[in-house]
A and B are shown apart, each in its own frame.
Chain A
């Protein structure tokens, strides 16, 4: 008897939530639509892309387009450049931010608070404003078309320092006292006590840094002329114009460029949400 009631209640709830699911599915379809069309077109022969009406249900996917993207256009080279750039920036940002955040939360030194505000103030300077002098700096150092030119300006992060400091401040002060008694120096304390206790915060910063670095557009556009040094973003945008005869292959490349970030965002959603809601985001 009570079981029947239970089933009936569950059924009623399911029917009541149908409109919600209808809205959810419709919204999801609209959001995913651009990605769907791109994926479909990346699996078509070129003639199909130029035909009207557009074919939204391909009958035979041409996976060869993806093979072409890895052999006929330099996607592997672009991916490698992006991977190197994004990895260097991520490691650099996590390192400099962890060091600075440690000083701001565990060390006492003169002008600590003013210096912290100087750090925060860099978040008020949009990167786009500094491109001209920074470009001139790279030109003078002869660092155009180099990895150091692509990465060096981004190795420090006020946002990351702020994020890690917020977390470091929540760690019990007694840890530091105990470490002092045990004769741990600051670096050893940071490496062996603070960092293992801050894995989540560090992961948040790392996911965030990698995503932003991988997706950069303006700076890599300015400092790379040599096609061999192009990042994946510059590569696909440039090939869109250069390879009109292979638009479908370029679209396959576009999907390939997006996939790692999609995986990253889905796998580390928890960390990303924490990073995005921690404060301002630098574009």
Chain B
């Protein structure tokens, strides 16, 4: 950039005054949000890093500087590694089925048929259901003695299970509940994606002699890939933030088989009063979520087809 140097000082003096005036005018508009973010987002983030460097006694009263050690403890402790594994599995068990079922339902609801709006409403209705309502409902279905799920399995000649008390089945059962909760969101977003695909793409494919199958494989799926990626990214982030369904259905058990990271943080901080350790875990979670988001962005740039 080239500027006439002689003009600069005078203009600067004027612009400083103007900048201040502009700032003064804008402050009432942005300050409420800035203050709230400062107090409830940025300060807590910094404070968590600080707490992570300190060990706390069992009553949460004294803080002793232990430096990076606590972070190292978290990363090397078998408990935390196990809860990472559980969270990863949970993400897998929830994201893949939610996306596939959401795609299936969205394709069904995308047809032009009389009354289709009713079905769109039903398919997206699970977004209304909170984590507590959903969990209480599924607790009923999953009851090993009198629940409907075991009844139906038994009628169909299939083996039944104590869903929430057997270490093998607890995580899949919590995942099943979560998939049901996520279906509404996935269907809404994927359906909107389908509606955004321009009709000309299909026309061109038909002219080239593509059947329904080929239209789906070569038009719908590529055009939908950003939407599917978005749904799975959000799904993974949801999975890493899951807490309510675990708190209500299993309390992290049996044998820690459903102790996902957020539940582990909650247990350390609010049941064991080990605030330092819990904060270190929270920071590790933060870094993981950040890395995941970034990895997905890179993936999107490389493999996803954008119009």
List residues of chain A with CB under 8 Å of any chain B CB: 17, 20-21, 23-24, 27-28, 31-32, 34-35, 37-38, 41, 49-54, 56, 95-97, 99-100, 102-104, 107-110, 112, 115, 118-119, 122, 124-137, 152-153, 155-156, 158, 161, 186-187, 211, 214-218, 221-222, 233-234, 236-237, 240, 250-251, 254, 257-258, 261-262, 264-266, 269, 272-273, 276-277, 280-281, 283
Q: Which of B228-248 contact A (CB under 8 A)?
A: 234, 237-238, 240-241, 243-244, 247-248
Which residue in A49, A129, A233, A264 is a CB contact (below 8 Å) of B130?
A233
Select A262's contact among B37, B125, B146, B283, beta carbons within 8 Å: B125
Does chain A have a CB within 8 A of B192?
Answer: yes
Instruction: Please name 7 pairs of A and B residues whose Cβ atoms are closer than 8 Å in the assembled complex, sorted by A.
Output: A28-B119, A125-B286, A155-B36, A156-B32, A211-B128, A216-B130, A236-B136
Given A129-B48, A133-B43, A52-B282 contact (CB < 8 Å): no
What is the CA–CA distance of A122 and B45 in the complex, to the nearest angstrom? 10
Shortest B280–chain A CB gap in Å is: 11
B223 neighbours in A (Cβ, 8 Å):
none
Interface residues of B in 1-52 (CB under 8 A from A): 19, 22-23, 25-26, 28-30, 32-34, 36-37, 39-45, 47-48, 51
Residues in chain A near residue B139, CB distance under 8 A: 240
Q: Which one of A122, A136, A265 lies within 8 Å of B128 (CB-CB)? A: A265
Tell whether, in the assembled complex, residue A276 and residue B185 are in contact, meaning their CB atoms are under 8 Å apart.
yes
Contact of B123 among A28, A152, A161 (CB under 8 A): A28
Q: With both chains docked as a complex, state the minimum distance between the C-beta of A146 and any C-beta of chain B, in angstroms.
A: 15
Q: In the assembled complex, how far is the CB of residue B178 from the closest CB belonging to chain A, in whole angstroms?
A: 11
Measured CB to CB, the closest approach of chain A to B198, in angstroms, equals: 17
CB <8 Å contact, A52 and B45 = no
| Contact yes or no, B140 A37, CB < 8 A | yes
Q: Do A53 and B26 have beta carbons less than 8 Å apart?
A: no
C-alpha gap A110/B30 in the complex (Å): 13
> Is B148 a contact partner of A126 (Cβ separation < 8 A)?
no
A277 to B135, CA, bound (A): 26
Q: A133-B44, A276-B185 are in contact. List 7 more A-B contacts (CB 8 A).
A: A31-B123, A32-B122, A38-B137, A96-B32, A133-B48, A137-B40, A155-B36
Docked CA distance A52–B154 (Å): 12
- A186 partner, pick from B29, B192, B286, beta carbons under 8 A: B29
Q: How far is the CA of A250 from the CA of B132 in the complex (A)?
A: 12
Of B105, B133, B275, chain A has the most CB atoms within 10 Å of the CB of B133
A269:B137 contact, CB within 8 angstroms: no
What are the residues of chain A within 8 A of B48 when measuring CB–CB? 129-130, 132-133
Does the CB pair A133–B51 fall under 8 Å? yes
CB B271 to nearest CB in A, in angstroms, measures: 12
In the bound assembly, the distance between CA atoms of A102 and B111 in angstroms comes to 40
Choose among B44, B129, B266, B275 the residue with the greatest number of A CB atoms under 10 Å from its CB. B44
**Chain B: how many interface residues by the 8 Å CB criterion?**
88
Pairwise interchain contact B238-A124, C-beta atoms closer than 8 A:
no
Whether B188 pairs with A273 at a CB distance below 8 angstroms is yes
A-B complex: 4 closest residue pairs judged by Cβ atoms: A215-B130, A130-B44, A156-B36, A133-B44
Q: A128-B241, A186-B29, A254-B137 are in contact. Are A137 and B128 (CB under 8 A)?
A: no
Q: Are B108 and A237 closer than 8 Å at their CB atoms?
A: no
Closest Cβ–Cβ distance, residue B18 to chain A (whole Å): 9
Assess A134 versus B44: contact at CB under 8 Å? Given A128-B243, A261-B130: yes
For B244, the chain A residues whose CB sits under 8 A away are 217-218, 233, 237
- A27 and B26 contacting across the interface, CB-CB below 8 Å: no
CB of B169 within 8 A of chain A? no
Q: How far is the CA of A155 from the CA of B31 in the complex (A)?
A: 12
Residues of B within 8 A of A54 (CB): 146-148, 151
Would A258 and B129 be within 8 Å (CB), given that A103-B29, A156-B37 are in contact? Answer: yes
A127 to B265 Cα, complex, angstroms: 13
**A149 CA to B124 CA, complexed, in Å:** 32
Tell me whether B74 is interfacial, beta carbon within 8 Å. Answer: no
Closest to A106 in B: B29
Contacts A134-B44, A186-B25 hold; do A126 and B285 have CB atoms under 8 A apart? Answer: yes
